[in-house]
Structure 1
């Protein structure tokens, strides 16, 4: 696509949002403690900050400010403000001072931001725990959050990924004509690598005339060992493993289709 000749700054806002679901089975107290440790290792503020800083580099932006927080017993939030162009240092940054305390580190982006918030959730009866990470990459100007698409998908243990991409506002060309989108797209899948497409079942719900694109993804392959703690499948008999798999698959399908599914005649009572 030829470079657009614009009147002033590119005012289009491009927003890419992820809901990433990581599902696990933790019925006993020992398994629940292992699950909490797993979440603390994978979704702590330090690791999330490192991932978002890499996203900033991938999309060609510059960090202005970072704010982050860990929560008890698990989960974290990180917000990074970004700029499209290098930012000159604040005069105060050039003045010798003691500097900030470690727990008060903050980061900024100019007119753009990257955020992640995590949400732990569990069913006390079934033993299913579903950890959700919400990630938003919002940019203004020529930089695109779509460049970070594949990196973010592969940065987490994602069983379900639900994505929204929207281009908002308009920018004006030199002749006064308004431009409501500055790149070709008919699906978020256009920007996915083949490896991602092979691993996930996907469906689209798009509103082309409004530049709104929605894609749902569910992991195709199922390995029960990936969802268990302790000694894995060795701690359960065949009937128990069959029931656990049914519960996990049901959880995945309900999230993927956004509705509660009927138990069916094969379901077992607690």
Structure 2
């Protein structure tokens, strides 16, 4: 192992977040889009429950294996590029390559922009806000009030702060590019298959895999949002059906001092004030702070593991 190896992953994290400011790569070359296309090939929901479960598990395992192989192959080329060059330019070049490969596996700017687009749409009309929100959530938005639209946008921002930023960085720090890639595959599979409807059995493996891989990062994300009370966080995070999404959402509700709810499902920080115009911008600022803190923490973690 060269002396530059411990610095490779921390530098790549910095490169990825800098490149993220430029936006997303084209769909034709975006790995998460490719993962979605692979998952979309399978139509397993009409099969009998045991067959659907086995088919969903096998499809997930095959996809994860393909993602692992491709990411290992790409990461190997980066290591080959670094191996003959122990100088600073060689290390920076390898970090640039690895950071460019990592970037599509996280999406902070897109997440923040989409959340603020809901606020901009609400400034036009409630219907425009509902329609914009429908791009971000799976729930029916047609009857939501203006307050409920903002609540849902803040909840989505908090939940996806973990799914789209902190969790990929966590698994990257642990296992490099394959770790981030497999996590994003698991999260994409859960988003496409993990529903309690006709897809339940075919998506059960995907849902459980995402629960396992998101368990620790979701709690870390909640802490990075710096909630004012850990006791309140422990209490509120358990109110959602998901074992993980409640943590960053509860942390955001407590930090904002606002009540966040999904009608008929859960209410977080019920004693908080109703969401107001301007709260989305405040939530984005808090999430940005968590991204910076999380990136620094994951960079230090990656360095410490390899030093």
Q: Specify which structure has the higher proportion of strand.
A: 1
Computing the radius of gyration from Cα coordinates, the structure with the larger value is: 1
Structure-2-length-normalised TM-score: 0.26
Structure-1-length-normalised TM-score: 0.29
